[in-house]
Structure 1
Amino acid sequence: MSRELPNTREQFRPADHPTEHFLLTTVVGSYPKPKWLNRAKELAEEDSREFDDGDLEEAMDDAARLITEEHVRAGLDAIVDGEMRRNEMVEYFAHRIEGYEFNGPVKVWGHNYFDKPSVADEVEYAEPWLVDEFDFTSGVTDRPVKVPITGPYTLASWSFNEHYDSEEELAYELAGLVNEEIEALVAAGARYIQIDEPALATTPDDHAIVGECLEHIADGVPEDVRLGLHVCYGDYSRIYPEILDMPVHEYDLELANGDYEQLDVFKSPTFDKDLALGVVDVHTTEVETVEEIRENIVKGFEIVPPEQLTVSPDCGVKLLPRGVAYQKMENMVTAAREVEAELDAGEITVGYAGE
């Protein structure tokens, strides 16, 4: 049996929300960076150093403010700054964790390289990772801010382990550090935190390790703090229903990319947590129409009732053209608001698997 957790979603309903039904709209995390921000990073790395670290910090502040406001303009209920300060989901955190070191980029596919870190010593929590980012974003908008954090299993799996006896041991140590970071974020006011574990989709047999890591992460977290788990596309039948035992409120799943072929996986046993359903495909530049997204949202009601459905893109949208990413978000929010109105009017028959 899965663990029952308190309902945390109502705190994200806008005070002036026009409908009785509420579909929480958000994004997974990443967003296309303005081209001038990439240029600013290049300038900061030049030997002449005419563009210094202070200039780069100002440029990242400007980008974070711009993208946060873009998310607000699209109408999202829970906002992210698009991860404007982050270069890569493992590398960014490894630079902030004692015990990691870097030995140069590793080729991962095509002409793409990843500065894969090594764990050369005991990992330690030396400084907050995301508190400044959260504080800044919260100062830009009065909407709730969601904080995505790369999970300990992915931090371990996508690094060279040169110190611990096993990758599993490393993951558990990192889980303790993530717990410390969440404590700092909660103290700063964060109430919506998402753990990103894309590596789980590529090695689903390790779901028990991820579950144990989440037990460490969730230890001591207040009941009003919403914890989510994002898992990228994979064979979900290999991790369901086991994931229901994990101590999170919400599972964010990439289903649009697979044309919802795996929807039936989650119908038995009953999906008794919240479902963040990917309703736009981040792997195509084609912008889904509002009607197409409405149809995708309604598919979610085959798994959960409306009060358990969150609406989001499949994954981070950082590889899309910025205009395309924005239009997908805007259409997604419009579709969600239309579905809410139809639910209020009784025009949608909800036949989820738990009935």
Structure 2
Amino acid sequence: MTEYVSTTPGLFPLPDWAKDDLSDLKGHQKHDLITGDEDDAITAVYEDAREEVLDRQREAGLDRIAEGQLRWDDMLAHPLAVHDSVETEGIVRYYDNNNFYRDPVVTGDLTFSGDVASELETTAELTDGDALQAVLPGPYSLSDLATDEHYGDEAEFLGAVADFLAGEVDAFPDVETLFLLEPSLVENAPDDGQDERASEAIDRVANATDADVVVQPYWGALSEKAYAHLLDADIDAVGFDFVADQDDNVYNIQEYGATDDVSLGLADGQSTLVEDPEAIRDRVDWVFDQIPVSEFETVYLTTNTETFYLPYAKFEEKLAVLAEAAELAEVKAA
């Protein structure tokens, strides 16, 4: 019988009070807020905000609890932005959204950092009995968002980023699930040869953990070749953004099959319109009616993108919708 799991791709909006508090503290330079060099007052705000988003996920009834990535001001580029071998330079548009991050310029070897592992260790202490989910940028997206001034070769750089992320994952506490976010697979689709290397890089990161690994592309559908190669990676689930593109995502599953588990992005992570749980459940049925796969072992129900863009109150409502939709799907399946 299929298990339905409600979760998110992480990267939550800050609670309103935390935004206000951090704004008051911005006599400190922005650099101090996001490099791991925060002072005690700033650290305390992030710690309290983390506890709040953990509580909100529990209250909503989510099956996987994410740390929230509230410190990730540079979005998916964060793991590099805080690295000692990286210089953060000019502001760059985050894909085609009205959000921005500092360009992480890699100037030396990408050795172990431990920044994300440290966040997860703290979270694990606060999630007794909860199923903890880790979130990272996938290696292809992280290399795509960065500028390489050290390795000098595209394939070598992608491999170095994959090795870096694998080292970070190896230091994680026990987690139930790892979401690797790969929007660049859609937004800047890999060329011939590069698509196979992207899959191998994802495979390298996935093999660094015993957790269930979900690769979540979004803002559209993967090209056929990128999707086919991704299925070769040793991952548990591929994610699909059914908000941005239904037809091409359905086609990929029809033509090439799918992993044993699947992640369905059915709630809009950027829209303030809050879906009805029954509507999400009906969208699950619609997807399954279109594809030849008879049954998945696990179906993750999630927003199609990170929820960073939402007002905090709408973010809270989306959590509750996902949890209720998963419950409705479980009841119908039984």
Range class of TM-score, shorter chain: 0.7 to 0.9
Match of 2:298 in 1: 308
* Corresponding residue to 2:324 among 318, 321, 334: 334
Number of the residue aligned with 1:13: none
Distance in 2 between residues matched to 1:294 and 1:97, nearest whole Å: 41
Which has the larger Rg? 1
- Which residue number in structure 2 is paired with residue 284 of structure 1? 271
Q: Which runs of no fewer than 5 residues in structure 2 stay unpaired?
A: none
CA shift in 2, pair 1:306/1:182, >3 Å? same
**What corresponds to 1:16 in structure 2?**
none
In structure 2, what is the Cα distance between the partners aligned to 1:332 and 1:156?
Answer: 31
Deviation at 1:280, TM superposition (A): 0.7
Identity of aligned residues (%): 21
Shift in CA distance, 29/113, structure 1 to aligned 2, threshold 3 Å: closer
**In the alignment, what sits opposite 1:198?**
183
CA distance in 2, matches of 1:229, 1:21: 19
Instruction: In structure 1, give the amino acid aligned to 2:49.
Output: A
Aligned length: 319
Match of 1:152 in 2: 139
Shift of 1:47: 5.3
Is it true that 1:43 corresponds to 2:33 in the alignment? Answer: no
Instruction: Mark the runs of 5 or more structure 1 residues left unpaired by the alignment.
Output: 1-19, 345-355
- CA positional deviation for 1:87: 1.3
- How big is the shift at 1:74? 0.9
Provide the alpha-carbon RMSD of the alignment: 2.5
Give the AA of the match of 2:27: E
Partner Cα separation in structure 1 for residue 82 and residue 196 of structure 2? 27
* Aligned partner letter, 1:212: E
Q: Runs of 4+ in structure 1 displaced over 6 angstroms?
A: none
Say which of 200, 204, 225 aligns to 1:212. Answer: 200
Instruction: Tell me, yes or no, if structure 1 residue 27 matches structure 2 residue 15.
Output: no
Assess, with a 3 A threshold, how the Cα gap between structure 1 residues 240 and 37 changes in structure 2: closer, same or farther. same
Return the alpha-carbon distance in structure 2 between the equivalents of residues 220 and 310 of structure 1: 21
Establish whether residue 264 from structure 1 lines up as the match of residue 251 from structure 2: yes
CA distance, structure 1, for counterparts of residue 26 and residue 116 of structure 2:
23
Q: Which residue of 2 aligns with 1:17?
A: none
Bigger drift between 80-89 and 65-74 goes to 80-89
Matches within 5 A, 1:237-252: 237-238=223-224, 239-252=226-239
**C-alpha deviation, 1:113, in angstroms:** 3.5
- For residues 278 and 177 of structure 1, what CA distance do their matches in structure 2 show? 28
TM superposition shift of 1:220: 5.0
Superposed CA deviations along residues 136-178 of structure 1, whole A, max 9, x for unmatched, are 2222232111010112222221122222222321110111111
Kindly state the Cα deviation for residue 111 of structure 1 after the two structures are TM-superposed: 6.4
Q: When the two structures are superposed, what TM-score results if normalisation uses the length of structure 1?
A: 0.82
Q: TM-score, normalised by structure 2?
A: 0.87
1:336-351 matched pairs, under 5 angstroms? 336-344=326-334
Q: Retained in 1: the 8 A contact 2:236–2:259?
A: no
CA contact (8 A) 1:244 1:273 kept: no
Q: Which residue in 2 is equivalent to 1:132? A: 118
